[in-house]
Amino acid sequence: MKDNMNWSLFWSTFKKTYSIYLVLLALFIVCSFANPNFLSVNNLTNISTQLAVTTILAFGQTILIISGMLDLSAGSVLALSGVFAVSAYKSTGSFTVAIVTGIVTGVVCNVVNAVMVSTFKTPPFIATLAMLTMARGVALLFTKGQNILQLEDFTILGQGSIGFIPIPVLFLIAFAIITWYLLRHTKFGRSLFAVGGNEEAAAASGINVSKVKYSAFIINGIFVGVAGILFMSRVNAGLPNGAINYEFTALTAAIIGGTSFSGGIGSAGGTLAGAFIVGFLDNIMNLTNVDSYMQQIIRGAIIALAVIYDIRSKNRRTKNTLGRIEDKSGKSGKSGGRRGEPIQEIAKGPH
């Protein structure tokens, strides 16, 4: 009887932590059977290379979503950083100058985001929506809407390999580790979870909320800048119109990976798994030549499923792991009035 209970407790914890990897594994197996080409080394390398750019964006989004924010401008800022980096390379021929230009552009745009969000208290959704339009506008203005061509050696970052591993995949691995390290091994990471989980409580615990938000955006800026460089290098052009809607692909990966939109929950591994789930699906649909329109429907359905799962598991968590709880505290998930929800509890009352 007692063992039984421990087992169920263990299983619910296990499921909570590892279910995403089980889904990934299951999908991997299904794909392997669905098409013989799926399992080839070439194809798997291919998928990883294709995923590198959006997954790096997704890591940035994960950091932001955990702290209760998000970045809708990622795709546009990526294009701007990339276009700037490419022209810097074309005019100087220096990788260093190009990379620094790209990263600085990403960071500057995200500092503006942070100013709007943290200092002027604009909702992140609106602040970054504004940046989405502005950054794209600047990219188009700068290039007069034309693609920048003939990048020559610059393509090595996106198309080259070291040994048999493509350079974008190395970047992907590096950023996965950086994100994991930031979230798990730094004070900053722990503070992100606290700020996203309950901003007021974090502030009342001595966490500098504004500093955390600025840092989160700046880190996102670095990620976006690097993604921009990789993107342009990979397509061998400076595309001011490139990477449209990439922010949504990135958000999708983060959500499927279990990052909770109510903040305070998420992990690098989950996002990586989420990105690969999307990547495997896209790939298998292309390998088996699924119709374009159908692909969109399936992708949408997957997001809906992921969100439903997120919500359900959250409910179950409050019911389940209760220990011996009369869960008046269970309601607290909804509480706190974060993000300007108009709901208040009576208990706060007019003190």
Partner 1 sequence: MKKTFITVVSMLLVLVLLAACGNSNTQSSSGSEAQGNNSGEKVYKVAYIARAQSDSFAAWLANAVKEEAKKYPNIKLEVFDGQASDDKENSMIENAITNKFDLVIVQPNNGEAQRPYVEKVINAGIFAITTNARISGIEGASTVDADPYEQAGVNARAALDQIPQNAKVVVLNGPSGNFHADKRRESWQKEFFDKRPDVQIVGEQIANWNKDEAMKYMEDWVQANDKIDAVVSMNDNMAAGALEAVKDNAKYSGMLAYGVDGTAEAFQLIKEGKMTSTCLQNAFELAEKLLDTSNKLLTGVEKQIDTDIGNPLITKDNVDEYIELLEKAEALK
Partner 2 sequence: MEQSIKLRVSQIEKSFPGVKALDKIDFTVKKGSVHVLCGENGAGKSTLMKIINGIHQPDGGQIFIDEKPVKIGSPIQARNLGISMIFQELNYVPEMTVEENIFLGNLPANRFGKVDWKQVRQRTTELLRAENLPYSPTTLLKDLTVSDIQMLEIMKAISYKSDIIIMDEPTSAITHEEVDKMFVKIRELQARGVSIIYISHKLDEIFQIADEITVFRDGTVVESHPREELDIETVISLMVGRKLTNTYPKEEVEIGDTLLKVENLSGAGGYRNVSFHVRKGEMVGFAGLIGAGRTEVMRSLFGLDPIASGHVYIKGRKVTIKNVEQSIKNGMVMLSEDRRRYGIIPMRSVKENTTLSSLKSVFYRFRHHGKVEQDIVSDMFQKMRVKTPSMDTVIASLSGGNQQKVLLAKWMILGPDILILDEPTRGIDVGAKFEIYKLMTELVKEGKVVIMVSSELPELLGMCDRIYVMAKGTITGEISRGDFSQEQIMKYATGSITSNEVNRIER
Using the rule CB under 8 A, is 332 a contact of partner 2?
A: yes
Using the rule CB under 8 A, is 250 a contact of partner 1?
A: no
Which token pair is 87? 């022209």
Question: Which residue number, 66 or 85, has a Cβ lying nearer to partner 1?
Answer: 85
Mask of contacts with partner 1, 274-313, x by CB under 8 A? --------xx--xxxx--xx-x------------------
Using the rule CB under 8 A, is 115 a contact of partner 1?
A: yes
**Residues between 216 and 275 with contacts to partner 2, criterion CB under 8 A:** 260, 262, 264-265
d(CA 342, CA 326): 26
Of these partners, partner 1, partner 2, none, which one is at the site of residue 237 (CB under 5 to 8 Å by kind)? partner 1
Question: Which residue number, 188 or 248, has a Cβ lying nearer to partner 2?
Answer: 188
Closest CA to 285 of 304, 273, 299, 301: 299
Distance in Å, CB of 181 to partner 2, minimum: 8
Q: Which of 10, 13, 93, 145 binds partner 1 (CB under 8 A)?
A: 145
Residue type for 10, please? F
Give the per-residue SS3 of 192-258.
Answer: HHHHHHCHHHHHHCCCCHHHHHHHHHHHHHHHHHHHHHHHHHHHCCECCCCCCCHHHHHHHHHHHCC
d(CA 225, CA 227): 5
Using the rule CB under 8 A, is 313 a contact of partner 2?
A: no
Using the rule CB under 8 A, is 251 a contact of partner 1?
A: no
Residue type for 184, please? R
Q: What is the C-alpha radius of gyration for the chain, rounded to an integer number of angstroms?
A: 21
Question: Which residue number, 223 or 231, has a Cβ lying nearer to partner 1?
Answer: 231
Question: Which residue number, 129 or 178, has a Cβ lying nearer to partner 2?
Answer: 178
Using the rule CB under 8 A, is 252 a contact of partner 1?
A: no
Which residue carries 């989980």 as its tokens?
A: 197
Closest CA to 255 of 245, 266, 239, 269: 266
d(CA 36, CA 243): 30
d(CA 139, CA 147): 10
Which token pair is 146? 């034309």
Q: Which residues bind partner 2 (CB under 8 A)?
A: 5-6, 8-9, 12-13, 184-187, 190-191, 193-194, 197-198, 200-208, 260, 262, 264-265, 314, 317-337, 342-351
Q: Which residues bind partner 1 (CB under 8 A)?
A: 35, 37-38, 40, 42-43, 46, 49-50, 112, 115, 119-120, 136, 140-141, 144-147, 149-150, 159, 231, 234-237, 239-244, 282-283, 286-289, 292-293, 295
